[in-house]
Amino acid sequence: MPDDLIEAEWETGHVYLSNADPIARPLRLGVDVAVALLAGLLTLAGIRGISDSQALDSALAKLSTAAGQTAARAAAVRVELETGDHPEVIAACREALANRRRLHLRYLVAARDEETERDVDPMRLVSADGRLYLEGWCHRAEDTRLFRVDRILEATVLEADGTPPSDAVGRDVDDTLFQPGPDDLVVTLDLQPAARWVAEYYPVESAEELVGDVLRVRLATADDAWLRRLLLRLGGTAVVVDPPEVADAIADLAEHALRAYSGSRSEPTC
């Protein structure tokens, strides 16, 4: 309601609040809320390189003071983080971060369906959009890059110093990780249930549920070569709705592949 709003005025570097009785009272945390918050912060603090340790230590100290005896209960909670199918990669990343060592990566570039090798000075592990990324200075690109951990095929810790250059700037992961360019091709696909994983694996601009359990997605790409390979692999479980020239190109490729396949077959002999 209007009379529930807090009023604020500022003058000569001071902020004056009125109608602010609710925040005048000290915050009292319930046991369940305090334990959940403290357990979460303690878990983050145990993940080497994933967050700002000073900010975590400060938040933990303040919350522990506010929680009082409840803090001891949170310390008894043990959280096991899932590392998926890449525990060796994550372990190598953490070791390199802790010891300031360079990493040699075998990395899958999904946009080109290409396996690459590169040396990286790791900066941090960061979680975004439900996935874990390694951010670091890539010597191949000579710039800061984000590498999806599930696309790192192999990570080897080198003896070389892994301190990033002084001008290496981390990315703001609060923004969308994939930033399409103005000249990128935007493609609309209708995905059958067997192909719905595409919307989870690749960044899409929009997703719309249609009749018949069909998912219509729009995605942007700067290089459509990987898209052609993807659609051929998906077969009839994905249909190009727009643009028509992409649909025609995929149809021509599929027809050419079928002709080549038919021509390679030979009649059985007795």
- The answer to which of 113-127, 179-193, 196-210 has the lowest mean pLDDT is 179-193
- Is residue 193 domain-resident? yes
pLDDT tens across 167-178, in order? 887 766 554 555
**Which of 52, 75, 98 corresponds to the end of one domain?**
75
What is the per-residue pLDDT across 58-91, written as a single tens digit (0 to 9) for each? 777 777 777 777 667 666 666 655 555 577 888 8
pLDDT of residue 51: 47
Residue of higher predicted confidence among 38 and 54: 38
Of 75, 110, 133, the domain-final residue? 75
Are residue 116 and residue 46 in the same domain, yes or no?
no
> Is the N-terminal amide bond of 243 cis, ω within 30° of 0?
yes
Q: Would you say residue 174 lies in a domain?
A: no
Q: What is the mean pLDDT of residues 120-149?
A: 84
Mean pLDDT of the chain: 77
Lowest mean pLDDT among 112-116, 138-142, 174-178: 174-178
- Is the pLDDT score of 147 beyond 50? yes
pTM, entire model: 0.49
Q: Quick check: is 171 in a domain? A: no
Please tell me the predicted confidence (pLDDT) of residue 146.
83
With respect to residue 42, please indicate whether it lies within any of the assigned structural domains: yes
- Looking at the structure, tell me whether residues 53 and 108 fall in a common domain: no
At residue 172, the pLDDT reads 61
Contacts of 1 (CB under 8 A, 6+ apart): none
Query: What is the rounded distance in angstroms from the CA atom of residue 150 to the CA atom of residue 80?
Result: 19
Mean pLDDT of all residues in 154-170:
89
Q: Are residues 67 and 107 located together in one domain of the fold?
A: no
Q: State whether 62 and 18 are in the same domain.
A: yes
Q: For residue 180, tell me if it sits in a domain.
A: no
User: Do residues 216 and 245 both lie within one domain?
Assistant: yes
Are 62 and 14 within one domain? yes
Instruction: Give me the number of domains the chain comprises.
Output: 3
Per-residue pLDDT, 270 = 44
Does the pLDDT at position 110 exceed 70? no
Least confident of 36-40, 74-78, 144-148: 74-78
Does any domain span residue 169? Answer: no
> Which residue range is the domain that position 11 belongs to?
2-75
pLDDT band at 250 (very low <50, low <70, confident <90, very high): confident
**End of a domain among 15, 45, 75?**
75
Whether the pLDDT of residue 47 is over 60: the answer is no
Check residue 96 and give its pLDDT: 92
Identify whether residues 200 and 222 lie together within a single domain.
yes
- Banded pLDDT at 120 (limits 50, 70, 90): very high
pLDDT tops 90 at residue 49: no
The enclosing domain of 101 has a CATH number of 2.30.30
Residues 192 and 149 grouped into a single domain: no
Both 190 and 141 in one domain: the answer is no
